[in-house]
């Protein structure tokens, strides 16, 4: 499943699942843009991935909730590499609470980062992809977007919105040989899940048929498939990588 010669942006890729995605794409031959709001950590991650894989990797500071920032990210990619083949909309935040306790600021932060962020980055990336008549966009949703999760109305709404966004955009750009798909991870230990209540973690394991948490690289393998030409006839799809949690 080679990606030799491909140019990929992975947002929110300085750590966690995003970092695993970036390193997996690099190991399969893609040059990488580590795009993150934490510029210092992004630079360290880019240097680490370049050292580990031998692939050219650069760091770009981006606030995905701001379209101008997303546009600059894409422009820097084009200036450095001349093209953009793969966009992984991974950047995300959580502000979990019961709805009566969620502030308007926390609602807006989660929706603006997780959902509007994917819109901003995709809008910025679509023009060069359409011009070259090739592109792969992969959105990182969640099982919370498929089933909903108590205490996560903001997060679940943002991730469910990503699924609708994925399907609608896939229809818009298919004629230009651009595919748009989503990966919906189950419970994977990252900085975003570290503060979940223990009782919720125990419940998640009980409802996961494989009986364990996922690994960041297991999410990355699914993204690598959608980024490759092996998925050329697959678009508008949502792949749950969740140990069977959402099995129906």
Q: Kindly list the catalytic residues.
A: 155
The secondary structure element, H or E, covering residue 167 is: helix 153-173
For 78-220, list the strands marked E by DSSP. Answer: 86-89, 135-140, 178-185
The residue with tokens 């419970």 is: 187
For 37-102, list the strands marked E by DSSP. Answer: 57-61, 86-89
The residue with tokens 């370049």 is: 50
- Phi, psi (deg, nearest 5) at residue 54: 80, 5
Spatial neighbors of 169 by CB under 8 A, at least 6 apart, are 122, 137, 180
Interatomic CA distance for residues 181 and 139, integer angstroms? 6
Do 236 and 167 contact (CB within 8 A), yes or no? yes
Closest residue by Cα to residue 24 from 233, 216, 234, 232 = 216
Do 19 and 140 contact (CB within 8 A), yes or no? no
Interatomic CA distance for residues 14 and 220, integer angstroms? 14
Question: How many Cα atoms occupy the beta-carbon half-sphere of 3 within 13 Å?
Answer: 29
């Amino acid at each position: 499943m080679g990606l030799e010669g491909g140019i990929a942006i992975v947002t929110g890729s300085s750590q966690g699942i995003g970092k695993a995605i970036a390193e997996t794409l690099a190991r399969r031959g893609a040059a990488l843009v580590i795009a993150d709001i934490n510029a210092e950590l992004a630079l360290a991650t880019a240097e680490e991935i370049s050292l580990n894989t031998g692939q050219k990797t650069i760091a770009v500071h981006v606030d995905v909730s701001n379209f101008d920032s997303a546009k600059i990210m894409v422009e820097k990619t084009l200036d450095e590499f001349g093209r953009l083949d793969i966009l992984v909309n991974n950047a995300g935040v959580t502000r979990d609470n019961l709805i009566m306790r969620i502030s308007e600021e926390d609602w807006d932060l989660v929706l603006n980062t997780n959902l509007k962020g994917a819109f901003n980055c995709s809008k910025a990336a679509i023009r060069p992809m359409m011009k070259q008549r090739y592109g792969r966009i992969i959105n990182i949703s969640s099982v919370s977007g498929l089933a909903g999760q108590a205490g996560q109305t903001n997060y679940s709404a943002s991730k469910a919105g990503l699924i609708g966004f994925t399907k609608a955009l896939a229809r818009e750009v298919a004629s230009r040989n651009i595919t748009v798909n989503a990966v919906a991870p189950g419970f994977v230990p990252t900085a975003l899940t570290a503060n979940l209540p223990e009782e919720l973690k125990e419940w998640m394991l009980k409802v996961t048929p494989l009986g364990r948490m996922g690994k960041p690289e297991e999410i990355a393998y699914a993204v690598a498939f959608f980024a490759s030409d092996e998925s050329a006839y697959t678009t508008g799809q949502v792949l749950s990588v969740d140990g069977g949690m959402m099995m129906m």
